[in-house]
A and B are shown apart, each in its own frame.
Chain A
Amino acid sequence: MSASSISDIKLDQEKLHQLDDFIDGMSNQKGELISILHKAQEIFGYLPKELQQHIAKKLNIPVSKVYGVVSFYSFFNMEPKGEHPISVCMGTACYVRGAEKVLNEFKKQLNLEVGETTPDGKFSLLSLRCVGACGLAPVVMVGEKVYGHVTPEMVKEIIKEYK
């Protein structure tokens, strides 16, 4: 991992082809920017600067427009996520049932702030707004797996499962 922010990232050609095919297959590219970004994030996992430039060129629109949309929506990431993204739900239901304490415990255990990834690329810490499983509040998701009724004491055990 030596992806510094100064030197450009080399995008995987095969993945780029896959994305280009998707874009070419659209009948009406006007107005499809968000769908294209969804697809791009699905293929690459995140939307680095170079990928946004590529999409802008392909659609013949300014990069600023692509960046404007990417930065507007919380679903789009410009940084790669860790192998196991840990998302702590900070919806209201989880908040009043103690999600903040759980989030703080994750911060402490992983030595991360929200939005950061561990140096070994294993974990990233995220907060999200309501997965809709409020009956299980507070909720934590690791990848696709949902943990319900999480207490700060359980945090260590959850992390251990993925080490």
Chain B
Amino acid sequence: MSKYKMHVLVCGGTGCISSESEKIVKNIQECLIQHKLEEEVQVVQTGCFGFCEKGPIVKVLPDNTFYVQVKPDDAIEIVEEHIVKGRKVDRLLYKDPGSKKAIEDSKHMDFYKKQMRIALRNCGFVNPNNIEEYIARNGYYALGKVLTEMTPEQVIDEIKKSGLRGRGGGGFPTGLKWEFSRKSKSDKKYVVCNADEGDPGAFMDRSILEGDPHSIVEAMAICGYAIGADEGKVYIRAEYPLAIQRLQKAMNDAEEYGFLGDHILGTDFSFHIEIRYGAGAFVCGEETALIHSMEGERGEPTIKPPFPSESGFWGKPTNVNNVETFANIPIILLKGADWFRKIGTKKSPGTKVFALAGKINNVGLIEVPMGTTLREVIFDIGGGIKDGKKFKAVQTGGPSGGCLTEKDLDTPIDFDTLVEKGSMMGSGGMIVMDEDDCMPSVAKFYLEFTEEESCGKCTPCRIGTKRLSELLKKITSGQGTEAHLQELRRLSVVIKETALCGLGQTAPNPVLSTLNNFEEEYIAHVKDHQCPAGQCTALLQYKIDPETCVGCTVCARVCPVNAITGERKKPHSIDQKICIKCGSCYDRCPTHAIEKR
């Protein structure tokens, strides 16, 4: 057997594959063969490294060199310079945005310094298609330990003691949930993994399934043992083909190795997993709706109780946990509840994965201990706001959450503090907004989403979200009045109190939190008919500054409705009655003489 001297890891997450990372792998391999180094250097396609902003990522080990934005053609240089001659390819190294210096070792990047990877421990480290790499990282060891050395009650106790809370949004104690399912008497029980990541802008579940599918398989088997179930289902979005493919491969390999199937590791415990496809419905993230969808029905929620732990899939006790929650299970059982409790805050132990996106420099997937402040996440790890703009707000919890502002930046993040601040953890989507984002428009965006995704079963949600979204449409198009603002508030409260399920009850959150934090911006829309952020087209006026205009006539020529007139080499002007506010002149003016306000 050959001994590899170097490993080259290439990111194979959806984002990087979109940027041709598979071709990078192929080119590196071909180039290694040319140099007869294929026996010495192992090329591995891994899951997501998290640093999606600068993908595709290539990491060379053991020297820990981190190359960013690699193109397939760069493969030759990486092999011939770095691997053959030991010279790092300077132009592909990550440059610190402050000092502009190249950083050779990923450990010294601000992006990674404050992170702590537990759920993502294997993402960007192992080849997700290779079960032996997972085993080398202590994979399936927790399952072996649980099956041979622990009773189901001891497993549940350990999880309870760890304080792990559901990472899908609600933050319900996982151990308690398991205990309820364990105590329900039935001839048949189910373990369900909720991988129906519906929050637009969150991609942690997908990344875990793509980068470390075995951890989910192992955790589901452990859960099966703990609650007394012999069947598991993964409910996954059909829009995630790569995650499905890797999970299926992991399940097949696990069965071949004896970690799934009958008499696992020679014990009496048997467990089988099957994949069920979602079909695109946000409400199916709610566990009762998810279960109906798995039964082939419309994914409509039902009133709890009965909870799924008593009566779930086909009326049998069913334990539903989210992907990230499961990813924490094996390592808790390996390292112990006490180890886990030391991380994070008292009421929310452990870490949380966030998908950082929006107007932030380092878009990507990060994992930090609970209790890290928003400032650390956005400015230290996230590298601050794009293009040097001013931070305005960060939306957490997706369409069910709210936005947090400047004054909340130093709040330590955990399940409870976010709720206190009028938002919620949700699945961990974090969308950063800058001074150019109009908050009423953001609220409208989310309400259009929930309006479309409302299943229609209960009236407050079906009609209420539609009315909210109509009101917001009026406000952002200049037809709003101050009475509308009161109506927004009143209706929001009614929906919160009367909707049937979590989707409806949280749908008004984006409205309420923007109203509370940015009331003056709403007032500017309805009273002065102005959009301070300059986003609401209907409220904008384009004007030409006669001082700066050189009379080049470009604007007059691009204007689709001939609203701009003026003589050559003399200042032009816009007829507001004709202008349709398309912004073409604004985009093209070579001297930036056109103002938008």
Contact = CB atoms under 8 A, between A and B. Distances in A.
Interface residues of B, number: 52
Contacts of A38: 238, 277, 279
Interface stretch (B351-359, B461-469, B538-546): B351-359
B296 A135 contact: no
A76 interface: yes
21 contacts: A31-B314, A32-B296, A33-B296, A35-B296, A72-B299, A74-B279, A74-B280, A75-B239, A90-B200, A92-B431, A96-B437, A132-B14, A132-B203, A133-B15, A134-B15, A134-B355, A135-B55, A136-B15, A136-B18, A136-B52, A136-B55
A22 B297 CA distance: 19
B277 A35 contact: yes
Most A C-beta atoms less than 10 A away, residue of B55, B197, B203, B314:
B203
A162 interface: no
Interface stretch (A2-10, A13-21, A78-86, A123-131): A123-131
Interface string A55-95: 00000000000001100111110000000000000111101
A130 B431 contact: no
B298 A134 contact: no
B203 A134 contact: yes
Interface of B: 14-15, 18-19, 52-55, 197-203, 206-207, 238-240, 276-282, 293-299, 314, 355, 357-359, 363-364, 395, 398, 429, 431, 433, 437, 442, 445-446, 449, 455
B201 A93 contact: yes
Contacts of B363: 93, 134-135, 137
A134 B201 contact: yes
Most A C-beta atoms less than 10 A away, residue of B54, B279, B429, B449:
B279
A66 to B, nearest CB: 10
Contacts of A72: 281, 298-299, 455
Given A74-B280, A132-B14, A93 B431 contact: yes
Given A92-B201, A137-B357, A132 B296 contact: no
Contacts, number: 124
A148 interface: yes
Contacts of B433: 96
Nearest to B442: A96
Contact of B296 (A69, A130, A131): A69
Contacts of A37: 279
Contacts of B202: 130
A34 B442 CA distance: 33
A33 B278 CA distance: 12
A133 B18 contact: yes
Contact of B206 (A33, A75, A132, A148): A132
A126 to B, nearest CB: 12
Most A C-beta atoms less than 10 A away, residue of B197, B278, B363:
B363
A96 B294 contact: no
A103 B497 CA distance: 36
Contacts of B398: 92
A76 B279 contact: yes
Interface in A107-163: 128-137, 139, 146, 148
B488 to A, nearest CB: 20
B395 A134 contact: no
Nearest to B358: A96
A92 B448 CA distance: 12
B15 A75 contact: no
Given A72-B455, A93-B363, A137-B363, A130 B238 contact: no
A30 to B, nearest CB: 8
Contacts of A35: 276-277, 296
A148 B19 contact: yes
A102 to B, nearest CB: 14
Contact of B239 (A33, A34, A128, A139): A128
B203 A130 contact: yes
Contacts of A134: 15, 52, 201, 203, 355, 357, 363
Contact of A73 (B200, B279, B395): B279
B289 to A, nearest CB: 10
Given A31-B294, A73-B278, A96-B442, 6 more contacts: A31-B296, A74-B279, A74-B280, A97-B358, A132-B207, A136-B19
Nearest to B399: A92
8 pairs of A and B residues whose beta carbons are closest in the complex: A135-B52, A91-B200, A93-B357, A73-B279, A146-B18, A132-B203, A33-B296, A92-B201
Contacts of A32: 296
